[in-house]
């Protein structure tokens, strides 16, 4: 009796399909639970869970296809007249699948990287065959800059939008900011040397690390960056006001603090101590 029951189940494709799906989901759940309880770092756990999910999904698709291949063949022959309509209806899904394969072959990013897909900027927290999930980051913010918004980008976007991997800019960035001041008859270049000295003082604590990190980026990306020395330029805008532009290579978390310090130094030079005012008039 058990033998006959097993034979019937082995010939029943629906039972085979349910057994296959249940087995794969059980193994995936056990592996995921094991990874989450491990002592690995958060990003390593994400990568392993992501790999298990993708591999289990692939096993389910292949297994179900093998089980139902004969029925699928007969079904495909029976709907040959509607093949064009089916392709049109599934073009978005097919585009996402092909986009996922394209991204996997190009290895343009992985889970944990900072990427910009078109205008969407965020940290990759999941990537499957159909979509890529990003934890949005404010492109104009500093520090971590997370907005708390989760973005779901279809993989078909890889064919229509540029993909930029910004992972090397997570620690250090080339930060540029401008200070605008109304010209009151003074020479705006009088403050340039003073601000240059102050910027170098603010960057002195991380200068060696910044140089090593800059060389690391150049070696990995095969490009030559502008370097770590701060750059200061004095220009004017359409209103005739003086514009002091400072560009420096600094830790992302310290960019806002350094910008505030330099801004304070600039205005203190013009409006600070009395001796500074006397020196300005002499200049």
pLDDT bin (cut points 50, 70, 90) of residue 7 is: low
Give the residue-averaged pLDDT of 39-53. Answer: 83
Max Cα distance, the chain (Å): 109
What's the rounded mean pLDDT across residues 145-165? 85
Q: What angle do CA 17, 19, 24 make, to 5 degrees?
A: 95
pLDDT at 180: 92
**What is the predicted pLDDT for the residue at 211?**
83
Per-residue model confidence as pLDDT tens digits over 203-220: 888 888 888 887 877 776
The pLDDT of residue 261 is 92
Six-digit token string for 266:
């600039």
pLDDT in tens, 177-211: 999 998 888 888 888 889 999 999 998 888 888 88
Three-state SS at 176: strand
Residue 135: C-alpha distances to residues 9, 87, 140, 275 (Å): 45, 32, 15, 51
Q: Which two tokens stand for residue 33?
A: 């639970």
Mean pLDDT of 150-159: 88
The answer for residues whose C-beta is within 8 angstroms of residue 139's C-beta and 6 or more apart is 116, 121, 145
Q: Which residues contact 32 (CB under 8 A, 6 or more apart)?
A: 49, 52, 53
Angle, CA 275 vertex, CA 273 and CA 279 arms, to 5°: 120
Query: What is the third-level CATH fold of 79-170?
Result: SH3 type barrels. (2.30.30)
21, 60 contact by CB (below 8 A): yes
247: left (phi over 0), alpha (psi -120 to 50) or beta: beta
Structure confidence by residue, pLDDT tens digits, 18-44: 888 899 999 999 988 888 888 788 778
Q: Are 171 and 252 in contact (CB under 8 A)?
A: yes
Domain ranges in the chain?
1-78, 79-170, 171-282
Q: Which CATH number fits domain 171-282: 1.20.120, 3.40.50, 3.30.1380, 3.30.70?
A: 3.30.70
76: confidence class by pLDDT, cuts 50, 70, 90: low
Distance CA(122)–CA(165), nearest Å, equals 10
d(CA 276, CA 278): 5
Burial class (CB in 10 A: 0-12, 13-18, 19+), 2: exposed
The pLDDT of residue 89 is above 80: no
User: What's the mean pLDDT when you consider all of the chain?
Assistant: 80
pLDDT at residue 245, as a whole number: 93
Q: What pLDDT digit, counting tens, does each position of 252-271 carry?
A: 888 888 999 999 999 998 88
Measure the CA–CA gap between 49 and 255, rounded to whole angstroms.
Answer: 34
How far is C-alpha 274 from the geometric centre of its chain's CA atoms? 49
């Amino acid at each position: 009796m058990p033998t006959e029951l097993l034979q019937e189940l082995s010939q029943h494709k629906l039972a085979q399909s349910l057994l296959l799906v249940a087995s794969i989901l059980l193994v995936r759940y056990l592996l995921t639970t094991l990874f989450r309880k491990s002592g690995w770092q958060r990003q390593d756990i994400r990568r392993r869970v992501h790999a298990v999910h993708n591999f289990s999904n692939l096993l389910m698709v292949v297994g179900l296809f093998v089980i139902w291949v004969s029925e699928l063949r007969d079904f495909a022959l029976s709907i040959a007249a509607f093949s064009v309509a089916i392709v049109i209806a599934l073009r978005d899904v097919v585009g996402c699948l092909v986009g996922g394969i394209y991204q996997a072959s190009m290895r343009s990013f992985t889970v944990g990287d900072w990427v910009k897909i078109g205008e969407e900027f965020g940290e990759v927290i999941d990537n499957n065959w159909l979509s890529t999930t990003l934890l949005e980051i404010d492109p104009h913010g500093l520090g971590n800059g997370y907005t708390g918004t989760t973005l779901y980008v279809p993989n078909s976007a890889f064919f229509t939008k540029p993909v930029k991997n910004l992972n090397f800019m997570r620690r250090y960035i080339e930060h540029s900011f401008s200070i605008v001041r109304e010209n009151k008859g003074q020479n705006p270049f009088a403050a340039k040397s003073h601000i240059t000295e102050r910027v170098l003082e603010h960057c002195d604590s991380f200068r060696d690390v910044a140089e090593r990190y800059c060389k690391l980026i150049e070696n990995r990306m095969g490009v030559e960056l502008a370097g770590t020395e701060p750059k200061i330029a004095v220009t004017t805008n359409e209103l005739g006001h003086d514009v002091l532009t400072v560009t420096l290579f600094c830790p992302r978390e310290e960019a806002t603090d350094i910008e505030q310090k330099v801004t304070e130094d600039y205005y203190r030079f013009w409006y600070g101590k009395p001796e500074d005012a006397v020196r300005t008039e002499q200049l």
